[in-house]
Chains A and B, each alone.
Chain A
Amino acid sequence: MTPRSVTHATFVLERTYDASPARVFKAWADPEIKARWFRGPDEWPRGKYELDFRIGGRERLAGGPAGGTVHFYNAVYQDIVPNERIIIAYDMHLDDRRISVSLMTVELKPDGKGTRLVFTEQGAFLDGWDETAGRERGSVGLLDKLGRELERQNQE
């Protein structure tokens, strides 16, 4: 039997992007754009991705190293304020183990011609399968990928 435990933790990340809040928001709201940056490490094969971007809508991403552990992200949208705020509740699974349940808040604030993004994760990490530091590293990686996507759009 799995020994049960819950570790609660919160972390906050901030980024400033050279793009308007409307363009940063669209990178979260548009399934085609989000699929470009919302993914695991580059070496992982592209997994199955679905996004229904509305309050109550679902989002799912399955991925992982080829032939290895399946990482499954399962989300529901809790609050959306266009160009300003997105709140997502999500759980993460490794194969059939649920390793965390979290609330992710994304706030977009105009900063000159750009946007300051404040990312807050409030997580319940389960049964010793995950830890906050790893989740924070993963989130840093995602926000860096988002930055590269917005930079790529600036070059177009």
Chain B
Amino acid sequence: MTERSVTHATFVIERVYDATAARVFKAWSDPTARDRWFAHGEGWAVSEYKHDFRIGGHEFGRFSQTGKTVYSNDTIYQDIVPDNRIIFAYTMAKDGVNISASVATVELKPEGKRTRLVFTEQGAFLDGLDTPAIRKGGWEDLLNGLGKEFAPLSKSA
């Protein structure tokens, strides 16, 4: 029998992107852009993602690094304020067993011509199958990948 445990944790990641808040928001709302930096962002062997970016919208994705262990993601959008804020609840599962449940807040704050993104995750990490540190590292990589969406403009600007 699984020994049940819950580790509750909150972590915050901040990035400043060389793009307007509208452009950063669009990288979350546009399925093509989000496929690039999010669904396929880590270059895994199995990666599929169904987008549904609207309040109440339900997204589902599957990811696998090796083709063996499959991670899946269920997301529901709880709040969307265009160019300003996105809040979603999501669970992650490993081979169908829940490893976490979280609420994530993405805030976009203009700073001159740039945008500060503040990502706050409030998570419940389950049964020792996942940790806040691993999750934070995953999001740091993804948010670095999001930054590459804006790199060409900053070079030509």
Contacts and interface: CB of A to CB of B under 8 A. Distances in A.
B78 A91 contact: yes
B6 A89 contact: no
A14 interface: no
Interface stretch (A2-10, A27-35, A143-151): A2-10
A87 B124 contact: yes
Interface stretch (A43-51, A62-70, A73-81, A130-138): A73-81
A1 to B, nearest CB: 10
Contacts, number: 81
A120 B103 contact: no
A49 B134 CA distance: 38
Given A102-B103, A124-B103, A8 B79 contact: no
Given A8-B105, A89-B103, A102-B103, A126 B10 contact: no
A111 B107 CA distance: 42
B105 A124 contact: yes
B114 to A, nearest CB: 18
Given A87-B101, A89-B101, A103-B102, A10 B126 contact: no
B8 interface: yes
Contact of A103 (B4, B84, B124): B124
B29 interface: no
B103 A103 contact: yes
B78 A89 contact: yes
A79 B10 contact: no
A10 B10 contact: yes
A24 to B, nearest CB: 15
**6 A-B pairs closest in CB distance:** A89-B89, A122-B122, A78-B101, A101-B78, A87-B101, A103-B103
Contacts of A105: 6, 8, 101, 124
A103 B89 contact: yes
Contact of B6 (A55, A56, A107, A123): A107
A122 B122 CA distance: 6
A74 to B, nearest CB: 9
Given A76-B76, A91-B79, A101-B78, A85 B91 contact: no
